[in-house]
Amino acid sequence: MARNERLTPQQVSAFAVLLTTFLALVLVPVPPGSVQVGDTVTENRFTAQGAAAAVLAAALVASALAGYLYVFQPREVRGTWRLAVLGALVVLWTVAAKVFLALTLPDDGRLFLRYMLPMASAPMLVATLLDGGAALAVAAVLAFLAAFSGLQPTDAQAAAHPLLGLEIGAAFLSAGIAGVLAVQRAERLDRYVWAGGLVGLATLLPVLAVWLAGADRRGVDVPWMLVSSAVGGGLSAVVTAGALVVLGYSLGFTTRVQLMELAQLTHPLLRQLQDRAPGTYHHSLMVSTLAERAAQAVGADALLVRVGCLYHDIGKMAQPAYYVENQLQGRNPHDGLDPEASAHIIVQHVQVGLQLARRYRLPARVRAFIPEHHGTRLVTFFYRKAAAQDPDADPDRFRYPGPRPQSKETAIAMLADSVEAVVRASRDHSPEHIDELVEGVIRERVAEGQLDDCDLTFRDLKLIAESFKATLRGIYHPRIEYPAPTPRELRSQGPGPIPLPYSDES
């Protein structure tokens, strides 16, 4: 059901070549230093063999990461700009690892300061800004690069214990995986505090395991392991949270923190919507509730769906009286217009909504809900009204500009928007009729081809339908009609309002 743009072989090949080049430029230089082991002094020197090893390591990492991107096609990493950000994060953290490990190795004082390096923050950033799967791949390649760059200098090799490479790689890999799992779709800043603690623990355990497996163990090592791992975990959390704010606003990425801010009903746009178009505001809340539960059912981004649905109809604020949910006095301004003019006014709210969204700097992924929740559908009511007057009426003059939904999230919003409107317009709210309406809307959108550009499966559609039905049954559940108040109740009330013949009990 999807025809989304894919990463091409040319894109991933260019990514691999460029990443190999930049990583090689980082890895080939040898830092100055020397170490004395027994009577032998070993100095770091540039060698052709070492340079070849660095180039091969860079090529291996770049090819592995490019291969992952091409095979698995993570949706949030598609596009040249996002590939550039991913590559830049890998290169920058490799530079940090090379510099920091050159300063902390050889570890003659057995201080384990190398694990203060917040390597986990890179995959944590990738998981938050881009994609969780790509973040795990980044965690793996950075762990390898850290171990390689740490042991590349001759002085580090000469003074290292046999399992040091395994220790470094395992510690940073474990920390990266833990960080990714901890911050994936995190919705509050305190989640990053918890993630920092988890990263620290994940760093400590492999280090402790290798230490126990080695022959040279000292009790004084354990406190330094604990301190270094804790500092590394804390720095990973701080760097990730700080970089999220900078990258989110400067590079246009949509962060969880931004979405949580936008989900607050006190946001100025939502306040304006409530004041100017109260019917549309209530409709947006209902659609948001429907869509969020459906998104959870199919593993889509429920927070993004909730926020997108809250803002999907903000363009209706410009002319609220032209939309039926805001016609509280029963007057319909469309009565004096021809169908094509009415359709033009209805369609116009999409462009107005996009203008408002840009003015208030809504993230691109939230703005996408405004045009995509209508797709390229007809303004059916006015088209049919025009067709009744003129059978040759051009349907394209009554059509939304699109595009059709490009993601699961905007497709769910389209379905929830239609279902909420259809069920609310129906006079029959019995469970059986609600089920029939939900199934009918979904069948119609599939038949129209509106879901062809997103990655919803037929199994997803079934789960979405069941979620809609359950939510709508709860909203339109029947109430018990209470008998009239007894004479004793009336006497106990004394003078005042007559008790109503029902209760406010649920």
pLDDT of residue 159: 58
Among the listed residues 139, 46, 45, 54, the one whose alpha carbon sits nearest the alpha carbon of residue 90: 139
Asked if residue 210 and residue 272 are part of one domain, the reply reads no
pLDDT of residue 31: 67
Among the listed residues 244, 479, 461, 259, the one whose alpha carbon sits nearest the alpha carbon of residue 365: 259
CA distance 97 to 145: 8
211 token code pair: 């230490």
Give how far Cα 359 sits from Cα of 59, 363, 404, 435, Å.
44, 11, 23, 40
Asked if residue 19 and residue 135 are part of one domain, the reply reads yes
Q: Is 37 helix (H, G, I), strand (E, B) or coil?
A: strand
Is the residue at 165 inside a domain?
yes
- For the chain, counts of helices (H) and of strands (E): 21, 2
Asked if residue 88 and residue 31 are part of one domain, the reply reads yes
Total count of domains within the chain? 2
Answer yes or no: are the C-beta atoms of 121 and 146 closer than 8 Å: no
Domain-ending residue, one of 224, 253, 282: 253
Asked if residue 200 and residue 340 are part of one domain, the reply reads no
User: What's 452's domain CATH number?
Assistant: 1.10.3210
pLDDT of residue 2: 46
pLDDT of residue 40: 55
Asked if residue 295 and residue 196 are part of one domain, the reply reads no
Answer yes or no: are the C-beta atoms of 270 and 310 closer than 8 Å: yes
pLDDT of residue 198: 96
pLDDT of residue 467: 96
Angle at alpha carbon of residue 238, lines to 237 and 239, rounded to 5°:
95
Is the residue at 482 inside a domain?
no
Asked if residue 385 and residue 361 are part of one domain, the reply reads yes
Asked if residue 82 and residue 145 are part of one domain, the reply reads yes
pLDDT of residue 152: 80
Q: What is the pLDDT along the chain (506 residues), one digit of tens a residue?
A: 444 578 899 999 999 999 999 999 999 887 665 444 444 555 667 788 889 999 999 999 999 999 999 999 998 898 888 899 999 999 999 999 999 998 888 877 788 999 999 999 999 999 988 889 999 999 999 999 999 998 887 666 665 677 888 999 999 999 999 999 999 877 677 788 899 999 999 999 999 999 998 877 788 889 999 999 999 999 999 999 888 888 877 777 888 888 988 999 999 999 999 999 999 999 999 999 999 999 999 999 999 999 999 999 999 999 998 998 888 766 788 888 888 999 999 999 999 999 999 999 899 899 999 999 999 999 988 999 899 888 888 989 999 998 999 999 999 999 999 999 999 999 898 999 999 999 999 999 999 999 999 989 999 999 999 999 999 999 887 777 778 878 887 777 766 665 555 555 54
Instruction: Identify the domain containing residue 164 by its residue range.
Output: 9-253
pLDDT of residue 15: 96
Among the listed residues 430, 409, 451, 454, the one whose alpha carbon sits nearest the alpha carbon of residue 288: 409
> Model pTM?
0.81
Asked if residue 276 and residue 236 are part of one domain, the reply reads no
